[in-house]
Amino acid sequence: MASWTVTSALLLAGAISSAAFSVFDTECYTANGEDYRGFQNQTGLRGGKPCLFWNETFQHPYNTLKYPNGEGGLGSHNYCRNPDGDVQPWCYIADHEDGIYWRYCDIPTCRMPGNMGCFKDSGDPPTLSGTSETSNKLTIQNCISFCRKQRYKLAGMESGYACFCGNEVDQRDHGESPGMECNHVCFGDHTQPCGGDGWVIIFDTRVGACGGNYSAASGVIYSPDFPDKYAAGRVCYWTVHVPGSHAILFNFTFFEISDQTDMVELLDGYTNRVVARFDWRSPPGELVNVTGDSVIVYFYSDRTNQAQGFALLYQALRSQDARTTEAEGDGEDAGDAVSGTAGPRPAGGVTERSNSTSNGRSSQILYVITSSPGKPERNMPGQWAGRGGTPGHGAMWTIYALAALLVLTVVAMVAKLLLHITVKSPNIPAVSGSDTCSQSTASSEPWIILYRPSTISLFKKKLKNHHGDLSPLVGN
């Protein structure tokens, strides 16, 4: 019975994962389609030229003989690929025109999330009416960062060197065009597309931001400075909080980290417990299922090497997904089994770091997350936690005993002080040798009592002179 439950859970996990990410209708999550692994085998859907097989192009630089291990997605097929990091996928063709034996592939489904499209720029009015600048070192992220600092929502690049900012695009005056018109290389990075002559490629300025808050049921989180390489000394947090969801699935579609020090972590949004950690030696290999409605994505880079970063998809599973799982089997048992198969899980503990841009690491998380019914119960202030998280009464009794001991010590010190003052009074009368103590001589010298603090009894104090146990106040 247990094995059947686990098998059902694994099959159910695959069904959920395939359905969960079907909302993303794109096949590319990089700006130049370097990660495209689709099945288009001609340069265009309409009137395009057929592509040659990669295992039959030995006369060209890119073929399966030179790259036998599937580098760049090459293989015994003729699908469009981008093995050299060009501005978009391409393929070899049989028809040579002016010595050109390859063509770009116009793939409508190869557009990374955040890429709003390629739009015609007539100049009057401009496609984006906000601030603009030109630079001979322009990249996609340079333009995005410039517009983000100006608090614009959109950033557009044109002709490889011009950057425009704005908040909306008028679709009536500026129609969208196939991506072939916007494949001019950026002056600052020849692997990135930066529009064309009279055509603007527009991006959402949230792409490549260091941190952010996500509340939609699905979305994509990019590493800082994406699609450029992430900078050194980056410490970034993204919160994914989807009220009403019972679990959140995560899938890395692109992952390139330079060394073991740089890392990505997924933390429980309420307990800050590390659910999964990925780095250069431990890259993500499968979906990660985090139970609950709140997750923190943490990224850290040291001061040395940089790399391309990552693209992380998430999909929240709501109550209707839970009813679907119950129809396939015991939903609760399946959820536990699926969670147990998710990604690498390091040893338990809490990772706390600051959401600042300092190069070092801090010891606090500066996030305040709104509570929800799924938040675990915590002890009330003043309540002592014993074993198993239960209130401990032994700790309270220990505090009471220490307080009582402190009070007794203070009383003893006060009693000692009072006795010291009484005994050490300088005006002690001299007593004559007569039987009556009523007479005193004025010329007699007063007694000098030497008192050395020693052992004290709270109930009896003995003073001894040099002749025995007689009191020094009684004469011979």
pLDDT tens-digit profile of 116-131? Answer: 999 988 777 888 989 9
Predicted confidence band of residue 172 (pLDDT cuts 50, 70, 90): low
- 365: closest CA among 350, 379, 387, 344? 350
- 193: closest CA among 225, 231, 161? 161
Cα distance between residue 386 and residue 297, in whole Å: 32
Which helix (H) or strand (E) is 394 found in, with range?
A: helix 393-423
Maximum average pLDDT range among 14-28, 133-147, 402-416: 133-147
pLDDT at 51 (0 to 100): 95
Contact 346, 277 (CB under 8 A): yes
Statement: the pTM of the whole predicted model exceeds 0.85: no
| Mean pLDDT score, 327-336 | 42
Hey, how many other C-beta atoms are within 10 angstroms of the C-beta on 441? 10
Report the chain's mean pLDDT, rounded to a whole number.
Answer: 74
pLDDT at 399 (0 to 100): 80
Range from 38-52, 123-137, 436-450 carrying the lowest mean pLDDT: 436-450
| Mean pLDDT score, 299-323 | 84
Decide if pLDDT at 144 tops 60. yes
Which helix (H) or strand (E) is 29 found in, with range?
A: none
pLDDT at 452 (0 to 100): 47
pLDDT at 82 (0 to 100): 95
Maximum average pLDDT range among 350-354, 370-374, 426-430: 426-430
Q: What share of the chain is helix, strand, coil (3-state, %, to 5)?
A: 20, 25, 55
Decide if pLDDT at 220 tops 90. yes
Class of residue 137 by CB neighbours under 10 A (exposed 0-12, middle 13-18, buried 19+)? exposed
Q: How many H-runs (helices) and E-runs (strands) does the chain carry? A: 5, 19
| Mean pLDDT score, 32-52 | 91
Decide if pLDDT at 358 tops 70. no
pLDDT at 398 (0 to 100): 75
Percent of the chain whose pLDDT exceeds 90:
46
Percent of the chain whose pLDDT exceeds 70:
64
Instruction: Output the CA angle 420-426-427, nearest 5 degrees.
Output: 125
Predicted confidence band of residue 285 (pLDDT cuts 50, 70, 90): confident
| Mean pLDDT score, 417-426 | 65
Decide if pLDDT at 344 tops 50. no
Predicted confidence band of residue 169 (pLDDT cuts 50, 70, 90): confident
Decide if pLDDT at 420 tops 90. no
Decide if pLDDT at 164 tops 50. yes
Predicted confidence band of residue 372 (pLDDT cuts 50, 70, 90): very low
- 225: closest CA among 239, 211, 242, 238? 211
pLDDT at 436 (0 to 100): 43
